[in-house]
Chain A
Amino acid sequence: MAVFKRTPILKDQLTHYCPGCGHGIAHRLVAEVIDELGIRERTIGTAPVGCAVLLYNYFNCDVIECAHGRSPAVATGIKRVQPDKIVFTYQGDGDLAAIGTAETIHAANRGENITVIFVNNAIYGMTGGQMAPTTMLGQVTTTTQHGRGGQGEGPPIKVCELLSTLGGVCYLERTAVSTPKDVMNAKRAIKKAFQNQIDGKGFSLVEVLSMCPTDWKLSPAQSVDFVNEKMKPVFPLGVYKDQ
């Protein structure tokens, strides 16, 4: 009989995440993968600036906290010095696709042998709900109070599509954590992204469409619907590159 138990990689700790937030699921999936691959003792994670900044309070492995958007550069430094370690970044949309766009694109293009977990909830969570690079057209945020317009604010950046043109990239997949099926699929993708690194295949990124009830001003249940009905059409799930 299968027993649902605490993942040993996660510390026995209450998280600071809001009810209905997708970070808890994403954390759990990354932790389960690290556990199943037996790599905890050689894993070094990076914490971003944003809602997941306190990631080191939850993951029982070595972690470095990076400046906003700089995780791929920091991870590059670590991985190049210790190529036998497993290095992952965990980044939100503002971190990865706005202030850290250059670091993301160039780490990807260099083919750095790292694993990137990209949590996309189309909004700045920690700072209180401002427009993200992935905020959708018409989406209301505290800095797009009449909805994001294409003029002057531009359409949302689609990270997997953008990175798929780069030669150094090994693996790109967009997943979600809004249905049980999506969660299981996200775990498969995350595991593959870590396995790629173990196999020395190069830059792997898994995008995770995730819920942000607090800043979307929706209930947890409505937030799940928001991902399924509003986000998935703009950010289609699937594999964007697999070499």
Chain B
Amino acid sequence: MAEAAIQAGCRFFAGYPITPQNEVPEYMSWRMPQAGGVFIQAESEVAAINMIFGASAAGARCMTSSSSPGISLKQEGISYIAAAELPCVIANMQRGGPGLGNIRASQGDYFQAVKSGGHGDYHLIVVAPATLQELYTLTMNAFDWADYYRNPVMILGDGILGQMAEPVEILPYQPILEIPEKDYILTGCRGRLSRVIKTLILDPADGLVRHNEHLQEKYKRIESEISLCEEYQTADAELVVTGFGVTGRIAKAAVRKARKKGLAVGWIRPITLWPFPKQAYQEAVRAASKMLVVEMNHGQMIEDVKLATECAVPTEFMGKGGGWYPDEKSILDKIESMIKQPAAAAKGRVS
């Protein structure tokens, strides 16, 4: 992820040590100066995100990374960055919570990531990679989305992704969007009118109402333009299993085994969590009669699945927080128990 950021032109990183993401600042501490950029080990998560606020305002591609408790601390700055419409990339390698929790992997910060997180009414673009190769690619894409939409992008990983090793092909950066010139950054007002970046809007003529409407219009545009997911054999599936990040990856292995056993099971893994790939779910439940959501928490993404499908089919949940993770066999057992129930008995199908 750190190398992908460098490849994508990230030239400013500020962070604070927290397990399980220390590998990122450690790598950046020597690699960033090599690339001609700035690395700062900040005095706090709060300071780190505010350094990002400044670096982004000054026009740099910039990034910070942390893990759950640290991301909570960053929420103040994230809200300001979203309000000021500045681009940046924030990585959260989630660990067990609430509180100090533990340092095992978790997906307990889904709500925080996709439902604003900080104060006010805003959205981050949130992506959830499942492999290190995908983490590499999505990190590069994240910088493009951030600049293109002038919006913070969060990479929502977890402790497994943050500390695992697997082969990654270091590909050169290929922009996926044409980024307009940054005509809002602060560079000193030579030859132009002075610029202000601010989030306090006291305009008596409903200025803040209008600013919020402007932000919401942007979010609608993002929702219509970005929606990524991976699907597997959903067309004829009776049961669709879904999960994000590494949970999705584990679930896919279970679904493959179920298919080998002749069970009509399909699979969806959302790659963007916000915008949520609603359409894939809506299409899946036209054929499927039930869904299973697997998460390393006590049921967060399941709410968005149910909203997307408008509760069209019975949707069961499998998951726990605090560092628990599912294995293939337990998901397969759950699939078999759900498939054995005749679809007719599954009540509540509306469409």
Contacts and interface: CB of A to CB of B under 8 A. Distances in A.
23 contacts: A41-B189, A42-B188, A44-B58, A44-B186, A53-B200, A62-B188, A62-B196, A63-B198, A64-B186, A64-B197, A65-B199, A67-B76, A70-B53, A73-B42, A76-B51, A77-B12, A80-B51, A80-B55, A85-B188, A86-B188, A102-B43, A102-B46, A103-B47
Given A80-B12, A80-B38, A67 B50 contact: yes
Nearest to A84: B188
A75 B194 CA distance: 17
Interface string B1-45: 000000000011010000000000000000000000010101110
A82 B11 CA distance: 12
Given A65-B196, A80-B55, A73 B186 contact: no
B347 interface: no
A183 interface: no
Interface string A56-72: 10011111111100100
A62 B194 contact: yes
B60 interface: yes
Contacts of A66: 50, 53, 80
The 4 closest A-B pairs by CB, nearest first: A77-B54, A73-B50, A106-B43, A77-B55
A88 B177 CA distance: 35
Nearest to A74: B54
Q: Which of A43, A74, A77 has the most CB of B within 10 A?
A: A77
A21 to B, nearest CB: 19
Contact of B51 (A41, A60, A73): A73
Contacts of B76: 67
B188 A44 contact: yes
Contacts of A67: 50, 53, 76-77, 80
B57 interface: yes
Contacts of A81: 11-12, 38, 54-55, 58-60, 62
Q: Which of A61, A62, A79, A110 has the most CB of B within 10 A?
A: A62
B190 interface: yes
Nearest to A76: B51
Category for how many chain B residues contact A = 35 or more
Nearest to A109: B43
Given A70-B50, A74-B54, A77-B14, A64 B198 contact: yes
A78 interface: yes
Interface of B: 11-12, 14, 38, 40, 42-44, 46-48, 50-60, 62, 76-77, 80, 186-191, 194-200
B28 to A, nearest CB: 14
B57 A63 contact: no
Contacts of A59: 194
A37 to B, nearest CB: 13
A73 B60 contact: no
Contacts of B47: 70, 73, 76, 102-103, 106
Given A66-B80, A67-B77, A81-B58, 16 more contacts: A44-B188, A63-B195, A63-B196, A64-B198, A74-B50, A74-B51, A76-B40, A77-B14, A77-B53, A78-B58, A80-B40, A80-B51, A81-B54, A85-B187, A102-B47, A106-B43
A103 B102 CA distance: 28
Contacts of A78: 54-55, 57-58, 186
Q: Which of B14, B40, B188 has the most CB of A within 10 A?
A: B188
A47 interface: yes
B122 to A, nearest CB: 15
A40 interface: yes
Contacts of B197: 63-65
Nearest to B56: A77
A63 B51 contact: no
Q: Which of A76, A79, A81, A106 has the most CB of B within 10 A?
A: A81
Contacts of B58: 44, 77-78, 81-82, 85
Contacts of A85: 58, 187-188
Nearest to A63: B196
Nearest to B59: A81
B44 A76 contact: no
A226 to B, nearest CB: 30
Contacts of B77: 67, 70
A67 B187 CA distance: 20
A77 B52 contact: yes
Given A81-B12, A85-B188, A102-B43, A61 B54 contact: no
A73 B81 CA distance: 14
Interface in A98-133: 102-103, 105-106, 110
Q: Which of A73, A102, A110 has the most CB of B within 10 A?
A: A73
A105 B42 CA distance: 12
Contacts of A77: 12, 14, 50-58, 62
A43 B50 CA distance: 19
Contacts of A103: 43, 46-47, 50
A54 B77 CA distance: 19
A81 B86 CA distance: 15
A53 B54 CA distance: 17
A110 B42 CA distance: 10
Given A62-B194, A66-B50, A40 B55 contact: no
A85 B190 CA distance: 11
